[in-house]
Each structure stands twice: as C-alpha cells, then as structure tokens.
Amino acid sequence: MIGGQSRVTGSNTASTCSNASEPIPLNAILTIICDRGSYGTGRSSCGPGVAERGQCFPESAVNSVLKDRKLAQILSELKLTVQNVMEKNENFLLLKCADPTDRRLVLKYSHSGVKDASARLQNEAVLIRNLQAARPLRLLQYYSHGPDYLVTEFEEGDLLLPNSDYRETIRQCVADALIKFQVTPIRVKKAGVRQKTCMKSFYLKGLLKHLLHLWPDFVSLSEAMQCLRILISALPAMGKNPVICHGDFLPTNLLFKAEQQEVVFTDLEGFQAKNHPFYDVLSFCTIDDCDLWQWKWQKQFIRYYLERTEALFSLEPASRSFKDALRGILIFLLVYRMNETRIGLRKTTYFDGLGKLRYASKRFRNLLFCSVGDCRPNFANRSMRLRKNNLEAVLSSRSFLGYLDWLLEVRLPEQKH
C-alpha cells in the first residue's frame, strides 16, 4: 500500500509484538494512520519501522483540515459533522463523521489533487456499489460519493495486525472470504472501473520502481537484474487463471467480525481486474517481519486456500507453471516489502518527494559515478537484513525449490537459473 508510515493508538491496544496473537478491537482504536487511505485499517507497530503507538490527532487537527474549502463544502452539502481525524497521508484524508440522524460514517477525501488518487477512489466507490458480497465476505456499506470523496458507514470489527499468530477460525474465515471475493462476478468496464495498466505493466513498472529505490544501498545491480529476469520469465505463468484482485490484501485492510464469522474488506482502491489468485494470498502472508522458513500461520493459510480452490482455479502445486508464478510474485512482493521498510526507517516517501523523472535521473547519475565499493549493499538494520535474506532465498533456484517442498509438501522439478 503502499508507502508512508502508519500509526495505531488506543489505550487497550497490545503493547508488544509478542502478545499480539489476537486482533485489536476496533472500538479501542482512537486514531489510525495507514499507508493507502482505507477506512478501518492501520499498519501495526509490530512491523519494522512502519508504525508507532501513543500518537493521536489533537482537536486542533480537526480545525486544521476544515480549512480546506473543498472539503468544507462537501461536509456542508452532505450535512456531516466531523468527530475525529482517523488518518491523513500524502493522498487521502479519513474523517469519522456523523449525519443529522447521528449515523456514524467515514469520509475518505482525496486532498492531494493527484488525478490518479481521485481515479482510484472512484473505482473504490464503483466496486462497493456493484460487488455483491457473499458470506463470509463483507464490504463497507455505501453512503455517498463524489469526484474527490467517498462516504461509507462506520464498521465495527477486530482489526487484524501483522506479526500475529492468527487462530484457525480467523485464518479460514479470511481465506474463505478471499475466495468469495475472487469468484464474485463483475463486468469491470460496464460497472465503470477504470484501470490504466494491465497485469504485466503492473508487475514490471512496480518492480522497477522499488528496485530503483533500493539500489545500491540494499540491492546490488546484479540482484536487481536477476529479479527482473525471473519476473519477466514468470509473467506467462502469472497470467494464467486470472481472477479479480483486491490489490492490497494486508491484514490491516481486514476487519474480522467474530460473532458473525465475517471479514470486511476495506481499501479497494488498489483493485485489479486480472491477476494471479496467489497475488492476494502472498500479499497477506509477506507482510510479517519474519524468515520465510518460520512461516507458521502462513503455511496453514496457504494449504487451506489450495484445498478450497482445487476445483475452482485448477492450480497445480506440483507443476512448473505454478512454481514459476509463485516465484515471480514472491520476488515482486519481497522487493516491495523491502522498500516499504526502507521508507519507514528513513521516514521518507516514494521518490523522496521528487518528480519521478528527476528522481530517476538522480539515481542513474549515482550509478554512473559510484565506485564498486560504493555500490555494495549496506545493511545496518536487522529488519532489512531479514527481508534481504528472504529475497536471496527466492533468487536461488535450489533454495527456492527446497522452500516450496517444505511450504507445500510437494516435490517440484528443478530448474536452472
């Protein structure tokens, strides 16, 4: 989601990662700042350098955001009263509001003026109105929307957090909800969802962007080229069995309703009309700050998902095609997670606040004038070292095949790289 820090505050929240085995009640969370602007989500402080606790918006923050004339006009037209600032990032502002009947609502406002942000917000509004969710899947309830805003009803639930050992009922409910989402029928273009890039462009442009940020401090030039080579060769396999994709399927974009045994999906602005089923699966699994060989709930989640989708998606874990797709997606997501961690550690943003071309020019100038020693990856942070180790394991063909043998408990044919 991508980019930016997030904060979760609340007197009843868990204080350490070690005891974060259960989700945090949403009604205990006073303020949530997440990285892509969806209601009801926030990234846990258990993640490496992506969140901090104990911070909260003062009342003056409400007064500050109301100085935005366009926002003030929206609130006036909808007759909404702001109760709390829930989140603000470089593109979106999230406000908890109430209408004249005291109905609790959440207003998501695109304050940046960036056309792409407004377009993604419009896609989210279209999806919420058109997707017919079937249990255990649940979507936010639509209230109103306009060119730069979306209003949904406030939703109660348990906010899932990274680095948590989810119990079986949660794992299975999330997997079943994801499957329901992936098979939900929708005629994307007819519904009004607008997307600029196809699946191949999404992966290639995304990987290049993240590698550009990570080189040379965390990824060497040869490693970057290897990532690109493996991803490109895997694209045909990744294009098989396409399904609709949430696009940012993180624990923090899910609300678990224990009593109803339902999962509310939020932050649909990253929606993709076509992607491999395992993109969302691995997005959910790779957010944790741990060694791939220490995957516990992830291994159980993946195996349960494969069992439930055996007749739906014709996924064959022992096939070369399946292995190629998983390897390509994993490389993309592991590089992505490294860059997110880097952004959190350095408290910066994508492209360091510069225009894309200017940033790329700056990076390539460094490439031309750096010495060999200057271009060697440098690690001073344990979290980055761990994530780099995961990437190295997937880049090695032998290590990756051994890992899949352990993860899926199937024997895969070896492949030279």
CATH of the structural domain 168-408, one choice from 3.90.1300.10, 2.70.180.20, 3.30.70.270, 3.90.1200.10: 3.90.1200.10
pLDDT of residue 60: 66
**Tokens encoding 24:** 């945090």
pLDDT of amino acid 380: 66
The answer to which of 172-181, 217-226, 295-304, 402-411 has the lowest mean pLDDT is 402-411
Q: Which amino acid is at 318?
A: A
- Residue 85, strand partner residues: 95
* Predicted local distance difference test score (pLDDT) of residue 349: 80
Q: How far apart are CA 213 and CA 208, in angstroms?
A: 9
Report CA 103 to chain centroid distance, whole Å: 29
d(CA 361, CA 343): 19
Q: Whole-model pTM?
A: 0.81
- Give residue 261's identity as a one-letter amino acid code: Q
105 DSSP β-pair partners: 97, 153
Mean pLDDT computed over every residue of the chain? 82
pLDDT given at position 112: 86
Distances (CA, A) of 162 to 61, 127, 346: 28, 26, 20
Is 114 or 351 the better-scoring residue by pLDDT? 114
Torsion of CA 297, 299, 303, 308, to 10 degrees: 40
Q: How confident is the model at residue 189 (pLDDT cuts 50, 70, 90)?
A: confident
What percent of the chain has pLDDT above 70? Answer: 80
User: Is the separation of the CB atoms in 215 and 359 below 8 Å?
Assistant: no
Q: pLDDT tens, 223-242?
A: 999 999 999 999 999 998 89
Q: Domain segments of the chain: what residues?
A: 6-159, 168-408
- DSSP symbols for 338-407: HHHHHHHHHT--GGGGS-HHHHHHHHHHHHHH--TGGGS-----HHHHHHHHHHHHHHSHHHHHHHHHHH
At a CB cut-off of 8 Å and minimum separation 6, what does 136 contact?
173, 176, 177, 180, 260, 261, 262, 263
CA distance 195 to 261: 32
| 6-159 CATH | 3.30.200.20
Alpha helix positions (H), 44-192: 59-65, 69-78, 115-130, 168-182, 188-191
pLDDT mean over 197-204: 94
pLDDT, tens only, 211-225 = 999 988 899 999 999
* Ordered DSSP codes for 295-347: -SHHHHHHHHHHHHHHHHH---TTSHHHHHHHHHHHHHHHHHHHHHHHHHHHT
Question: Which two three-digit tokens encode residue 239?
Answer: 């294009």
The pLDDT-based confidence of 19 (bands split at 50, 70, 90) is very low
Average pLDDT over residues 259-280: 95
Q: How confident is the model at residue 359 (pLDDT cuts 50, 70, 90)?
A: confident
What would the mean pLDDT of 243-262 be, rounded to a whole number? 94
Cis, bond preceding 236 (omega within 30 deg of 0): no
Q: What are the C-alpha distances in Å from 302 to residues 20, 148, 175, 306?
A: 21, 37, 8, 6
- Closest of 366, 329, 311, 323 to residue 247, by C-alpha: 329
